[in-house]
Amino acid sequence: MKKIIFLFSLFCFLSCKDREKKPVASPDKGESVKIEYAKGFSIENFEDYSILKVNSPWPEAKEAFTYLLVRKNVKLPAGLEYDEKIEVPVKELVVTSTTHIPALEALNEEKALTGFPGLDYISSEKTRKLINSGEVKELGKNENINTEVLIDLQPDVVVGFAIDGNNKSFQTIKKTGIPVVYNGDWTEETPLGKAEWIKFFGAFFNKNEEAKEIFNEIKSSYQESKELAKTAKETPKVLSGSMFRDQWYMPYGNSWQAQFIKDANAAYVYADTKGNGSMSLSFESVLAKAQAVDFWVSAGQFTSYSQLLSESEHYSQFKAVQNKNVYSVSLTKGETGGILYFELGPQRPDLVLKDLISIFHPQLLPDYESTFFKALQE
């Protein structure tokens, strides 16, 4: 009898040890993906599914969205609550912002793209080849998507972005059974926060590790460039933005655009301002404060000094114009006119930072060829 009790106790002990080595995922406990800079989303991985939460689909959003990403033929635990369920890895998808394109390409999943609203805005040569071969369909405009064409495509998911929750096109698409998920990368306040949304896309292709590695490379490149900028002996003064209908629009000092200037070891003349979106000022007030700045970057749609001065001869009063130190992203375009900066810039902040360092401190990157920012032409 004692021998039987001993063997039974030993069996229980070994069984408990075995359970300790192989924990079973439960509905209330998963493994969180490490998110370092982005504030707008989170991912929790379980054995056969993931829960993706988007906390900031648009500015001042009052509700978060929960997306269930599930592998095929999986029996889900009871009690899961979600807004949309998507089978992963997705085979075909539609995205609605050019900022989504670089993430797909970095993950080698651009061939999954079947439709996009406004194909001419896409600059990437890689994706343009797919467009030219007819593999990506035109869907009209983002605010008024051609839902008939999209529904015919029957994508596994539509990745949308919105300024609020009133996009009627998305509501129509959802009624047909096609999942719509919101991407809020554009609401992030830091350069690396925007870039980290590649992990959002990685989740749809079961490529969490690949997304993590890609982001870590971008982060390391950004941080190394930031440290390099600190070695510069001078800190030039910088102006940003441009005029539109008698108002000069420029980023606030707490914006991600201003962060680039700071990390490039330059002094943004409006660094002490705070707010959301862009601030607007009169030309006279900007001239009074920034007439003597060393550089003017992100100078709107201007591509040449003749164009700049034909718009307003008063621009000639700025030292940066007199010294030909005005730089714009509008000179780097794709074959159909899309501006590369607005597509690739958010995904590759390290390249944006290197551009600015090469402008403000050319001695630190003497052989560097700029990706986005180019000096205005004559």
Per-residue pLDDT tens over the stretch 30-46: 899 999 999 999 999 99
Confidence at 167, pLDDT banded by 50, 70, 90: confident
Domain ranges of the chain: 31-218, 231-375
- What is the distance, to the nearest Å, from the Cα of residue 62 to the centroid of all Cα atoms in its chain? 21
What is the DSSP track for 324-372?
Answer: T-EEESTT-B-TTS-BHHHHHTTT-HHHHHHHHHHHH-GGGSTT---SS
Residue 28 has a pLDDT of 56
Mean pLDDT of 128-148: 93
| Predicted confidence (pLDDT) per residue in 97-112, tens digit | 999 999 999 999 999 9
Instruction: Report whether 364 contacts 320 (CB < 8 A).
Output: no
Torsion of CA 228, 229, 234, 237, to 10 degrees: 170
Q: Is-contact 126 110, C-beta < 8 A?
A: yes
* CATH for the stretch 231-375: 3.40.50.1980
**Residues 173, 157: Cα–Cα separation, whole Å:** 10
Contact between 371 and 332 under an 8 Å Cβ cutoff? The reply is yes
Query: How far, in Å, CA of 181 to CA of 55, rounded?
Result: 12
Residue 132 CA to residue 221 CA, distance in Å, equals 33
For residue 174 the two structure tokens come to 């959802």
Task: Decide if 31-218 and 231-375 have a common fold.
Answer: yes
Which DSSP state fits 97?
S
Rg over alpha carbons for the chain, rounded to the nearest Å, is 25
Please state the three-class secondary structure of 145-202 as a single string.
ECHHHHHHHCCCEEEECCCCCCCHHHHHHHHCCCCEEECCHHHCCCHHHHHCCHHHHH
Whether the per-residue pLDDT at 13 is higher than 70: the answer is: no
**Position 286 pLDDT exceeds 90:** yes
Q: What's the CATH architecture for 31-218?
A: 3-Layer(aba) Sandwich (3.40)
